[in-house]
């Protein structure tokens, strides 16, 4: 197989690409039979996979090192041509919605594809091309700015990603000191972070107005292609979280304070539940997960062996590498690429499992005739990843000492509950901001402080600096780059915990439930996929209360 580092990169010539695309689109529109339409659609898909492969290779190599001059320039080129590509995709979606062969095509793509296409068609017009280019430019600036932040340590200036180990140290004084270094670095970028986001809110609002929407919130929901629910259901869900989950997490944090023996729990203590606990996680995470996936199932074993053989991953910590993690499909080579800065902390370990879950879904979908059928709504995509964080539990003895497994599980479960509250705060923050685009940067900070108090009442900041000003959200990449992509994580967490509960009761049944979700995602929407897998929708009455009770019961058994 071709290893990732060997993949040749070739810049997309948009003029030639557009001409070829339009020729195949005309052939699709003029097809006199389903077979002709299907053949033209295959050729269109091949073109889209070509574009997406080159864009993905460019993105990966650019995010590996944002100071690399060649890929920095190529990334800028994609920022310029992406709106033109999206315009071509939009024309294809319009053609698909008008074709007399829709029913036959849906046999291969699923009806959900057409439901998503109807939403996507409303999200684009040639009138917003310049706004899309500006949005891409601002988004790229955020990535570059945050990737190049450095902290002043005894060893000199170092990239912030290299501070993670000390920020997660079992020694409280050490992690407090390095959190201050981290915070000082972000504080130096505060003004530019405000300016970038203010510009993003304004340009997105202009796009929404040009497309006929009252606010970007409406456009944001359409862009996420949610076919099973709207903002009213999400708002009701958030209220249930405030009522049923927040008080429980707040109580757990009080117990955590007692466990740690501290008078005040600060933000840098939130991931610590046991005094002087230092997890011994594997240095070679690829080898550790080779054992985990090798034991999990035949499918996961083959998937991970291929991923490892082609070195479709980048896990190293180094200057210029962006903060964050992702799994992107390199379409033409039918392999996902996993990107992360692995530093042997529990968070980094579970993050790798998370991204490997995304990759597993991409790998399973590669046998389908059309590349675009690999895509599904993000609420489903995050179930693939978040469930995998728990599905690895039976195999943790290959990755850490036996006496640490119970504590790792406790920490992860408690953090999962707290994350649901945090994710709701992010979602309500974005809705408030885009419904009120004339808020000043200072006004947005006040909105965050209010929401943080409502959803995360246990959170305290030791220093009057960057975070205490209401800036915690500015480190959340999604808020800048992928607006309204966050409640998806929350809904997925609720579903992933259900998969976990089922797996704990019957490992085989839990994995079968997970595989059903993977196979149904994209072909079916969020609600129908959950129904097929036998899971309860997060929007159902008492869904949150019932789940919280089950998780609390399990946490009680894990206390050591």
Backbone angles phi, psi at 427, to 5 degrees: -65, -45
- 538 near 491, Cβ under 8 Å? yes
User: Could you tell me whether strands 156-159 and 150-153 are parallel, antiparallel, or unpaired per DSSP bridges?
Assistant: antiparallel
CA 468 – CA 465 distance, rounded (Å): 6
How confident is the model at residue 460, as a pLDDT? 95
CA–CA distance, 277 with 442 (Å, rounded to integer): 39
Question: Which two tokens mark 553?
Answer: 């019961």
The CA distance from 311 to 295, in Å, is 21
The pLDDT, as a whole number, for residue 280 is 84
Query: What pLDDT is recorded for position 99?
Result: 95
The predicted structure's pLDDT at residue 278: 80
CA distance 370 to 153: 50
Q: What is the pLDDT of residues 288-309, one digit of tens each?
A: 999 999 999 999 999 999 999 9
Number of neighbours of residue 309 by Cβ within 10 angstroms: 11
How confident is the model over 322-351, as pLDDT tens digits?
888 999 999 999 999 999 999 898 999 999
Structure confidence by residue, pLDDT tens digits, 406-460 = 999 999 999 999 999 999 999 999 999 999 999 999 999 999 999 999 999 999 9
Residue 153 pairs in a beta bridge with 156
**CA–CA gap between residue 202 and residue 135 (Å, rounded):** 10
Which residue has 């499918």 as its token pair?
299
pLDDT at 213: 96
Higher pLDDT, 139 or 273: 139
Average pLDDT over residues 137-165: 90
Residues 167-191 pLDDT 10s? 988 889 999 999 999 999 999 999 9
Q: Residue 139: which pLDDT band, with cuts at 50, 70 and 90?
A: very high
Higher pLDDT, 464 or 286: 286
Question: Which of these, 32, 36, 34, lies nearest to 105 by C-alpha position?
Answer: 34
The whole-angstrom separation of Cα 105 and Cα 31 is 13
Burial class (CB in 10 A: 0-12, 13-18, 19+), 307: buried
Report pLDDT digits (tens) over 191-205: 999 999 999 999 999
- What does each C-alpha distance from 143 to 75, 328, 440 come to in angstroms? 12, 17, 22
Q: What's the pLDDT at 560? A: 58
Mean pLDDT of the residues in the chain: 94
Q: What are 314's strand-pairing partners?
A: 339
Please tell me the distance from the alpha carbon of residue 365 to that of residue 523, in angstroms, as a whole number.
Answer: 11
- Percentage with pLDDT > 70 across the chain: 100
């Amino acid at each position: 197989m071709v290893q990732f580092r060997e993949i040749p990169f070739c810049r997309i010539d948009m003029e030639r690409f557009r001409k070829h695309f339009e020729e195949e689109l005309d052939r699709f529109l003029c097809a006199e039979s389903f077979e002709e339409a299907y053949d033209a659609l295959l050729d269109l898909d091949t073109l889209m996979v070509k574009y997406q492969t080159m864009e993905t290779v460019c993105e990966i190599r650019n995010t590996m090192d944002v100071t690399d001059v060649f890929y920095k320039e190529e990334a800028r080129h994609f920022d310029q041509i992406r709106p033109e590509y999206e315009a071509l995709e939009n024309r294809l979606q319009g053609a698909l919605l008008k074709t007399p062969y829709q029913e036959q095509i849906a046999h291969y793509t699923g009806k959900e594809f057409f439901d998503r296409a109807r939403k996507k068609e409303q999200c684009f017009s040639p009138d917003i091309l310049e706004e899309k280019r500006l949005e891409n430019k601002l988004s790229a600036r955020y990535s570059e700015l945050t990737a190049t932040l450095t902290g002043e340590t005894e060893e000199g200036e170092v990239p912030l990603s290299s501070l993670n180990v000390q920020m997660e140290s079992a020694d409280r004084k050490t992690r407090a000191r390095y959190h201050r270094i981290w915070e000082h670095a972000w504080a130096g970028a505060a003004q530019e972070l405000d300016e970038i986001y203010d510009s993003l809110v304004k340009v997105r609002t202009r796009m929404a107005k040009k497309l006929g929407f009252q606010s970007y919130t409406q456009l944001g929901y359409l862009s996420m292609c949610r076919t099973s629910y709207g903002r009213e259901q999400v708002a009701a869900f958030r209220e249930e979280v405030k009522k049923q989950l927040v008080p429980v997490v707040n109580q757990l944090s009080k117990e955590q304070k007692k466990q740690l023996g501290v008078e005040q729990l600060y933000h840098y203590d939130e991931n610590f539940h046991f005094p002087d606990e230092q997890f011994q996680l594997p240095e070679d995470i690829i080898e550790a997960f080779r054992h985990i996936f090798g034991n999990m199932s035949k499918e996961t074993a083959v998937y991970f062996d291929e991923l490892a053989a082609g070195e479709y991953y980048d896990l190293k910590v180094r200057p210029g590498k962006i903060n964050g993690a992702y799994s992107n499909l390199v379409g033409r080579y039918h392999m996902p690429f996993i990107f992360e800065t692995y530093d042997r902390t529990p968070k980094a370990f579970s993050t790798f499992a998370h991204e490997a879950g995304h990759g597993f879904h991409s790998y399973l979908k590669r046998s389908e005739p059309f590349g675009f059928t690999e895509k599904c709504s993000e609420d489903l995509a995050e179930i693939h990843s978040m469930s995998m964080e728990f599905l690895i539990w039976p195999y943790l003895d290959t990755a850490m000492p036996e006496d640490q497994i119970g504590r790792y599980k406790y920490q992860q479960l408690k953090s999962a509950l707290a994350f649901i509250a945090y994710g709701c705060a992010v979602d309500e923050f974005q809705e408030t901001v885009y419904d009120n685009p004339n808020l000043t940067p200072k006004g947005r900070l006040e909105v965050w402080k209010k929401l943080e108090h409502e959803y995360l009442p246990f959170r305290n900041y030791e220093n009057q600096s960057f975070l205490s000003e209401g800036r915690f959200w500015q480190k959340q990449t999604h808020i800048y780059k992928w607006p309204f992509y966050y409640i998806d994580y929350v809904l997925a967490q609720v579903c992933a915990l259900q998969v976990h509960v089922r797996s704990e009761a019957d490992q085989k049944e839990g994995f079968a439930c997970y595989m059903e979700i993977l196979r149904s995602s994209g072909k079916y929407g969020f609600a129908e996929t959950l129904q097929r897998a036998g899971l309860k929708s997060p929007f159902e009455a008492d869904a949150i209360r019932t789940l919280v009770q089950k998780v609390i019961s399990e946490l009680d058994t894990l206390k050591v």
